[in-house]
Amino acid sequence: MKIRKKVGSMILAVSLMGGLVACSQSSNGKDSKEEGNEPRDIAVIIKATDSGFWQTVLRGAKAAGEELGDKVKISTDGPPSEADIDKQVSILENIITSQPDGIVIASTSSDATVPGIENAMSQDIPVVLVDNRVNTDQFVSFLATDNLKGGAIAADKLVEELQKSGKELKGKVAVVSAMAGVQVLTDRDKGFIDRLKEIAPDIKVLDTRYVDNDITKALGTAQDIITSNPDLLGFFADNNHTGIGVARAISEENLQDSIPVIAYDSDEEQINSLKSGAIDYLIVQDPFGMGYKGVMNVIAKLEGKEVEKEVDTGVTAVSMENFEDEEVQQLLYPEKR
């Protein structure tokens, strides 16, 4: 009798322990998240925290999180500067170790993050890329601007500005680039240069100047270009920091009416420079949309839905002529969405 009671007690204990383990696995594992009991952990990694553009990407990601409510938990990280590629790689590796449910990443390098991205995908952590193409096909979705097209639009707008002021399409144009070897910037510059050769073959494009994504260096470089080239017709600046630096040089030299500037992106200082005339056109992307759609695509993948592999998030040329348009205002001021 005592033996039977003892065996019965052991069976009951084992049964209870099994129930506790199953309960624990259900409350902490992926099954419970699939049932909606726990929020999905989505990590969003940007190129740099020192940029209004990337803060807007985060704003879009957080807006998606707010819309999804208790369904998702958004965490964000990124290096201080786009120049710190090693730091971004380290952040990615650490996040993978923490086993999130999904990752949205704007990779500065097209190569350095490939091992991490492929590692995440091999562990069934879906990765959505935004802004910059990475040299692997192991990702869920890629959302970005067509930067070749954006660069070509910049060339069109520069020529329009020159023609408006009655200038002959002969002379020099400068390209100030944030960094060498970054695919999105390479595409913008190529799109600009190729289109300019097509529509204004007598204009000489000076050798591209790289400024380590530093506003002060962009300012100094622009001043040097202006001083060294009296026949300078205009500037193309391929991101927000270069745009700010070039615009400062134009303002300091009081050249708003004589040297047009076409710049990518739309930080607050760039918008103010557009209003003052130091910048003539901003080639505006949709960073809010990148962050928002990036998170939504991760969630869609986790829910077993079809996700588009390649998404063009659009590009818009903004001047003071279309500045007040509702669509433009929402691009420039995402809080209005």
Q: Which residues, other chains included, contact 107 with Cβ-Cβ below 8 Å and sequence gap of 6+?
A: 45, 47, 88, 113, 117, 129, 132, 134
Q: Do the domain assignments include residue 244? A: yes
Same-domain pairing of 307 and 265: no
Return the number of other C-beta atoms located less than 10 Å from residue 328's C-beta: 19
How would you label 201-211 residue by residue, b for 16+ Cβ within 10 Å and e otherwise?
Answer: eebebeebbbb
Same-domain pairing of 279 and 292: no
Q: Do the domain assignments include residue 27? A: no
pLDDT value of residue 34: 53
Q: Does the CA dihedral 236-241-243-245 come out positive or negative?
A: negative
What global pTM score does this model have?
Answer: 0.83
Distance CA 65, CA 86 (A): 28
Q: Do the domain assignments include residue 330? A: no
Query: Is the separation of the CB atoms in 119 and 252 below 8 Å?
Result: no
Query: Is the separation of the CB atoms in 236 and 173 below 8 Å?
Result: yes
Same-domain pairing of 116 and 183: no
Same-domain pairing of 155 and 261: yes
Q: Do the domain assignments include residue 100? A: yes
Same-domain pairing of 140 and 218: no
Same-domain pairing of 211 and 89: no
Residue of 117, 107, 138, 101 whose CA lies nearest to 298: 101
Q: Do the domain assignments include residue 194? A: yes
Number of domains into which the chain is organized: 2
Q: Give me the tens of pLDDT residue by residue for the chain, a chain 337 residues long.
A: 444 444 444 443 434 344 433 333 333 345 445 555 689 999 999 999 988 899 999 999 999 999 999 999 999 999 999 989 999 999 999 999 999 999 999 999 999 999 999 999 999 999 999 999 999 999 999 999 999 999 999 999 999 999 999 999 999 999 999 999 999 999 999 999 999 999 999 999 999 999 999 999 999 999 999 999 999 999 999 999 999 999 999 999 999 999 999 999 999 999 999 999 999 999 999 999 999 999 999 999 999 999 999 999 999 999 999 999 999 999 999 888 8
Same-domain pairing of 223 and 125: no
Same-domain pairing of 222 and 280: yes
Q: Do the domain assignments include residue 9? A: no
Phi, psi of 17 (to 5 degrees): -60, -40
Q: Do the domain assignments include residue 26? A: no
Same-domain pairing of 212 and 119: no
How would you label 172-198 residue by residue, b for 16+ Cβ within 10 Å and e otherwise?
Answer: bbbbbbbbeebbbbbbbbebbbebbee
> Residue 127 is part of which domain span?
38-145+287-313
Q: Do the domain assignments include residue 13? A: no
Which strands, in side-by-side order, build the sheet including 141-144? 72-77, 40-45, 102-105, 127-130, 141-144, 310-312
CATH label of the domain that carries residue 79? 3.40.50.2300
Q: Give kind and range of the element (H or E) at residue 86.
A: helix 85-97
End-to-end alpha carbon distance in the chain: 74
Question: 3-state DSSP call for residue 178?
Answer: coil
The DSSP line for 186-233 is HHHHHHHHHHHHHH-TTEEEPPPEE-TT-HHHHHHHHHHHHHH-TTEE
pLDDT value of residue 335: 83
Same-domain pairing of 45 and 116: yes
Same-domain pairing of 62 and 151: no
Same-domain pairing of 141 and 206: no
Query: Is the separation of the CB atoms in 112 and 85 below 8 Å?
Result: yes
Residue 262, strand partner residues: 236, 281
Rounded to the nearest 10 degrees, what angle do helices 268-276 and 240-252 cross at?
Answer: 40
Distance CA 330, CA 82 (A): 26
